[in-house]
Amino acid sequence: MDHNALQQYDREHIWHPYTSMLNPSPVFPVASAEGVYLTLETGEKLVDGMSSWWTAIHGYNHPQLNQAIHQQVETMAHVMFGGLTHRPAVTLAKKLIDLTTDNLQHVFFADSGSVAVEVSIKMALQYWVAQDRPEKNKLLTVRNGYHGDTFGAMAVCDPVNGMHSMFKNILADHLFVDAPRCDDQSAWKAEYIAQFKQTLAQHQHRIAAVILEPMVQNTGGMRFYCAEYLRQLSQLCQQHHVLLILDEIATGFGRTGTLFAYQQAQIEPDILVLGKALTGGYMTLAATLASTKVAEGISADQHGVLMHGPTFMANPMACAVANASIDLLLASDWKSKVKRIEQQLQGELARCTDVAIVKEVRCKGAIGVVELHQPIDIYWMQPRFVALGVWVRPFNKLVYLMPPYIINPAELKKLTDAIYQVIHEFSDRVH
């Protein structure tokens, strides 16, 4: 097939994420990827501002990551993890335990972020069953959150403003409070945590765990909030004997300026969920880390077995490239790179506030967000970005960037210039 036939077959037969088969949004066939560039089948080169949904922090086709894959496939591409283990998985588990807070000493490998969230929820619920407290079977979370598209994960996504409202009568019924309202510049006020505090106190007897994304609510709206909220929340969880699950699938591995976002609040979660950038964007892999309290607590009853086992969990190739990605990150000056990206995003996206349809511009680490007053038109906007030589994937009312850390200032400027131009053009179209 030539690229036109390929694109047509795709349009007629392949169901892409969050699309309708009756009116699919445009797709652009990629032939190769190198560094921060995607090369299309038609020959155009696009600067990637998405890191392939926030995973490819080192860019594409990196020689060290390629080598890790090649070396591993020569010895063992996959082996079941039931009753067997292997060096790449043990090495990766040790790296994750060494990098995270001291209480997290146990690692469960999953094959996607959503599944890792499912595992975290199952851990929390099973912990309380083992403590002879089966009535503690609800989760408490904040609105505007997003934790994945499987059923357990959907149940703790925002039930009104999220993507899963059509399933509201099918999903498990959990507790929600308003999203955090304090940004990093706000002076702390007790009222910011009041609703959470009241709900936790009122329902502590039936809440198994609190689950939320630390510091940044990602797919639920790219909203940032202050570390003090997280500190207060953690203290309340301890006070009321409720487990704390932190979902760092999107924020882990440096994206917000610290290796993990929870470190900005200096707290210890009971369960931590990692994914996305774990393998540098090479293969699907996620991990759910648990404290000794949780791991041994689950094992306290006559069952004592965590009932979960993805077929491809701890895939050796995925673990091998994850090890290489973590080594590559830690050996680099990633903090300075992320800080430079943040400063450039702040400086260059600020001019977007001059456009009438722009509600707010906000930046944190290697995340830059332009929020509009109205939803974007993906059918018009996506091709315009491609025509300008960039890959930006807006959604809802948000046009945002989460680029690879290796991006240079000129490449990043091409992205911010394109956002400014397209938002201007979109403003002209809607007025």
- Judged by DSSP in three states, 363 sits in strand
- Find the catalytic residue in 9, 18, 173, 359: 18
DSSP 59-103: -BS-HHHHHHHHHHHHH-S----SS---HHHHHHHHHHHHHS-TT
- Find the catalytic residue in 247, 262, 337, 364: 247
Apex 122 CA angle, 117 and 127, nearest 5: 130
For residue 18, indicate whether it is catalytic: yes
For residue 37, indicate whether it is catalytic: no
Distance CA 141, CA 179 (A): 9
From residue 260, alpha-carbon distances to 56, 274, 372, 396 in Å are 17, 10, 28, 27
For residue 420, indicate whether it is catalytic: no
- Find the catalytic residue in 60, 127, 146, 282: 146
For residue 9, indicate whether it is catalytic: no
* The residue type at 247: D
Residues 6+ apart with CB under 8 A from 177: 140, 141, 142, 143, 195, 196, 199
- Which residue from 283, 274, 22, 270 is spatially nearest to 126, judged by alpha carbons? 270
- Which residue from 86, 111, 99, 429 is spatially nearest to 258, judged by alpha carbons? 99
Distance CA 246, CA 244 (A): 6
Distance CA 313, CA 331 (A): 27
Distance CA 105, CA 96 (A): 9
Instruction: Return the H-helix or E-strand segment holding 118.
Output: helix 113-130
- Find the catalytic residue in 197, 276, 337, 414: 276
For the chain, give percent helix, strand, coil, nearest 5.
Answer: 40, 15, 40
Kindly report each contact of residues 30-38 with a partner whose C-beta sits within 8 Å and lies 24 or more positions away, as own/partner: 32/61, 33/60, 33/61, 34/59, 34/60, 34/61, 35/59, 35/60, 35/61, 35/404, 35/406, 36/60, 36/403, 36/404, 36/406, 36/407, 36/411, 38/391
Distance CA 134, CA 44 (A): 57
Tokens representing 180? 């955090």
Helix, strand counts (H, E) of the chain: 13, 16
| Helix (H), strand (E), coil (C) string for 371-402 | EECCCCCHHHHHHHHHHCCEECCCECCEEEEC
Q: Catalytic amino acids?
A: 18, 146, 247, 276
